[in-house]
A and B are shown apart, each in its own frame.
Chain A
Amino acid sequence: MSESKLVWPPKLPKWGYRERVNFKTGMFFLLPWTIGFLVFTLYPMAASLLYSFSIYHPRRALEWIGLQNYADLFKDDLFWHSLSNTVYIVGIGVPLTLLASFLCAVLLNLKVRGQSIYRVIYFLPSIVPTVASTILWLWILNPQAGILNSMLESIGIDGPNWMSNPVWSKPGLILLGMWSMGGTIVIYLSGLQDVPTSLLEAAEIDGANWWQRLWHITIPMVSPITLFNLITGAIAAFQYFTQAYVFSGFQGLGYPLNSTLFYSVYPYQNGFLYLKMGYASAMAWILFVIILSCTLLLLKVSARFTYYAG
């Protein structure tokens, strides 16, 4: 350890000729990213942090109010309501979708005739543009002429008013999410294909049945993928916007009864419809902190539950 004194400008470590040249070349190649990072990431972060401590309307001067926005948020019922809506999706929707996509991947990994066709069918919905798939599901869930309720009726179930009932709007959106979970299925499927067949065969010779092989070998072997999907799924769910926006249609954001006013919809509403940009920025920063801590927590907890081969 060399003795380090605080000097300004800092003394750079002595670079050789090669390092200086490489540094210059490297910086030249990095130019697009550096400019983009400064203009589209660093500056906006600083600005929105500043806005979050102020009252800010684009046509008026910035007014510093300290932590007032944050204090107001904690007293805002709609803030808590939007948070609980998002927690619903993260806590119920994401695990359900994860489980469903794992089961789908297991099915697609079975040796059946036409396997590749099934894989295409399971995957295709995920590349339908989000606005189109949301509108399609609004039509499927339509209480009068929707195909889902008519099918439910034919087996004797009285389907709910999906879109206009605040209890059923979120399950409707989860259904839409499951229809487009092809990406997650593909990731799981590639994980299943990486499970060593030698392990499965050894277990089979030892007399383990299909269920035991799944529970004791396959599920632990794909646990890193489960973790990856869980983190990305949770992060995506916290930023759930397009589906909710399209879902409410002309009825106004959050329809019905604010049941689809998700955490990421509320800052949009405040920032761009009410022009309370400081308030919206404060919400965005809380979202950032939530996402950061969720990721760190998951990574920490995961060490105990996931198995990394090799």
Chain B
Amino acid sequence: MSIDTGHPLSVLPHPETDEEIRRRARLRKTRNFFSSLFSHTAINFVGLFFLLPFLWMLITAFKSGQDVFHTPPRWLPYDNVRVEINGEQLALYNVQTENGIRQLAAVKIIEGVGTFLDPANPGQTFEYEIQQGAVKVAEPVMHVSFRWQNFPDAMNRGSRPTVGASFWIYFRNSLIIAFFSIIGTLLSNAPVAYAFARIKFPGRDLLFIIVLATMMLPFQVTMIPIYLFFNNFLGWGDTFLPLIIPTFFANAYDVFLLRQFFRTIPEEMCDAARVDGASEWQIFTRIVLPLSVPVLATVTVFTFLWAWNDFTGPLLFLTSPRNFTMSLGLQDFQSQRTMVWNQLMAASVVFTIPIIIAFFFAQKTFIQGIKLTGSKE
């Protein structure tokens, strides 16, 4: 309540009774409680949307082949219980026998007929059909178990059975391409950005507009001539060169990012060096570059991310599996008729881990880079 004295801005406080003050505080408290409850619920619920697919990827990577297609899907990885009999690991089954259900270990299963033996009495073997009509006679005994073996299994195989290369080779190829892309990007973009930031030469602004305009050009336009240039003219098809060499010739995004940073370095420092007779190259290498370590780190991280993620480039240029990158190998593995989901997920986890590690080491760099360039995609 307040008393209006007529003037719009003069509002006199009305002395509240203790009761009124208490009631208002209570009201505020309940309101705060409910709004906090609401925000916590919302942020957690949406958080599940981002978190659960991650978990599902990890869980599937640890599942056994028998558990992958279990319906309904289970949130923990299950595997066959195994018992050791005569030095061999045998899978345990629940078998419907003449004397009711017994737990037997499977020696072998050939064309639907299983040879079992009793773990308590390993001398004798029994034969049962696994399935009679719709009735399952023998069902594996499952327990929660993380199958770490999926990771070496996935990495030691190729993307298809006939392929000699393994996912380790794909991983190595991705690393090689990313490494040289980072070197090329750092070497080529920094001087260009320095010229745009600090050297006053005629025509600079026009050239810079051209640099920015190339961002608008879709890759589809230049894709075919670039492909023919590398593949047919230079004969570099099925090598890493078409993926690495272009990074040595600067690109609009990194030039822009570096230029923005270089412009924040005080001009007076460069001018002082100029008065002292330093050349532009000396100013660039001795003054500007040492002050630009944070932005060079951003460029490094984003180039790694881009090279590691790139799919179109490898798809165009790399044809033989021993040259595949992780992106290409994983896609090739996935495009087979029989999909081995647990191994696919294991390989995906291995593919993602370097980026997650990079993120936790350079979290600030990541976020800063995104804010500066917008999204790089």
**A246 with B69: CB separation less than 8 A:** no
Pick the contact of A29: B195, B312, B315 (CB < 8 A).
B195
Q: A58-B232, A146-B73, A183-B375 are in contact. Are A26 and B305 (CB under 8 A)?
A: no
Given A112-B43, A129-B327, also A288-B218 (CB < 8 A): yes
| CB contact list, A154-206 vs B, under 8 A | 154, 178-179, 183-184, 186-187, 190
Do A26 and B195 touch across chains, with their CB atoms under 8 A apart?
Answer: yes
Q: Which of B43, B224, B336 contacts A48 (CB 8 A)?
A: B224
Q: Is chain A's interface secondary structure helix, strand, loop, or mixed overall? A: helix
By the criterion CB–CB under 8 Å, are A129 and B43 in contact?
no
Q: Does B60 contact A (CB under 8 A)?
A: yes
Task: List the 6 closest A-B pairs by CB distance, nearest first.
Answer: A36-B249, A26-B201, A29-B195, A44-B222, A44-B225, A183-B375
Closest approach, in angstroms, between the C-beta of B337 and any C-beta of chain A? 6
Check if A40 sits within 8 Å of B49, measured CB to CB: no
Interface residue? B370 (CB, 8 A): yes
**Structural contact, A135 and B377, CB atoms closer than 8 A:** no
Given contacts A39-B249, A132-B330, A138-B334, contact A127 B359 (CB under 8 A): yes
Interface positions, chain B 188-224, Cβ under 8 Å from A, are: 188-189, 191-192, 194-195, 199-204, 207, 210-211, 214, 216-224
Q: Mark A16-36, 1 if CB is under 8 A from B, else 0.
A: 000100110111011111011
Q: Which of B188, B201, B305 contacts A36 (CB 8 A)?
A: B188
Task: Please tell me which one of the listed residues A13, A45, A130, A179 contacts residue B222 in the complex, with CB atoms under 8 A apart.
Answer: A45
Contact residues in A for B352 (Cβ distance below 8 Å) = 128-129, 132
Query: A283 vs B218: C-alpha distance in the bound complex, in angstroms?
Result: 11
Which residues of B in the span 294-326 have a Cβ within 8 Å of any Cβ on A? 305, 308-309, 311-312, 315-316, 326
Question: A132–B221 contact, CB under 8 A?
Answer: no
Chain B residues whose CB sits within 8 angstroms of the CB of A238 once the complex forms: 218
Given contacts A131-B327, A135-B330, A147-B56, contact A291 B224 (CB under 8 A): no
Question: What is the bound-complex CA distance between A242 and B334, given in angstroms?
Answer: 13
**Interface on B for A, CB 8 Å cutoff?**
35-36, 39-40, 42-43, 46-47, 49-54, 56-57, 60, 68-73, 187-189, 191-192, 194-195, 199-204, 207, 210-211, 214, 216-229, 232, 246, 248-251, 255, 280, 284, 305, 308-309, 311-312, 315-316, 326-328, 330-331, 334-337, 341, 344-345, 348, 351-352, 355-356, 359, 363, 366-367, 370-371, 374-377
Besides A32-B189, A288-B217, 11 other CB < 8 A contacts? Answer: A22-B201, A41-B222, A45-B217, A48-B221, A112-B39, A118-B43, A121-B51, A131-B311, A186-B370, A264-B218, A288-B221
Contact of B250 among A36, A48, A130, A153 (CB under 8 A): A36
Q: Which residue of B lies closest to A238 (CB)?
A: B218
**Which A residues are closer than 8 A to B by beta carbons?**
13, 15, 19, 22-23, 25-27, 29-33, 35-37, 39-41, 43-45, 47-48, 51, 58, 103-104, 107-108, 110, 112, 118, 120-125, 127-132, 135-140, 144-147, 150, 153-154, 178-179, 183-184, 186-187, 190, 210, 228-229, 232, 235-236, 238-239, 241-242, 245-246, 249-250, 264, 267-268, 271-272, 277, 280-281, 283-285, 287-288, 291-292, 295
Cβ-defined contact, A136 with B53, below 8 A: yes
Once the chains bind, are A33 and B192 in contact (CB under 8 Å)?
A: yes
Chain A contacts of B327 at CB under 8 A? Answer: 129-131
In-complex Cβ contact of B46 among A35, A107, A139, A145 (8 A):
A107
Min Cβ gap A288→B in Å is 5
In the assembled complex, the Cα of A267 lies from the Cα of B227 at a distance in Å of 14
How long is the Cα–Cα vector from A228 to B191 in the complex, in angstroms? Answer: 28
Across the interface, do B224 and A144 meet the contact criterion of CB distance under 8 Å?
Answer: no
Can you list 22 A-B pairs with a CB-CB distance of less than 8 A?
A19-B202, A22-B202, A25-B201, A26-B195, A29-B192, A32-B191, A33-B192, A33-B249, A36-B250, A40-B226, A112-B36, A112-B40, A122-B46, A122-B47, A130-B309, A183-B374, A186-B371, A228-B374, A239-B220, A242-B311, A268-B220, A288-B217
Given A40-B249, A107-B43, A288-B218, CB of A127 within 8 Å of CB of B355: yes
Query: When chains A and B are docked, how far (Å) is the Cα of A272 from the Cα of B224?
Result: 9
Q: Are B53 and A131 in contact (CB under 8 A)?
A: no
Find A136's partner among B217, B309, B345, B377 (CB 8 Å cutoff): B345
Contact A285 B371 (CB under 8 A): no
B316 near A272 (CB under 8 angstroms)? Answer: yes
- Decide if B70 touches A145 in the complex (CB within 8 Å): yes
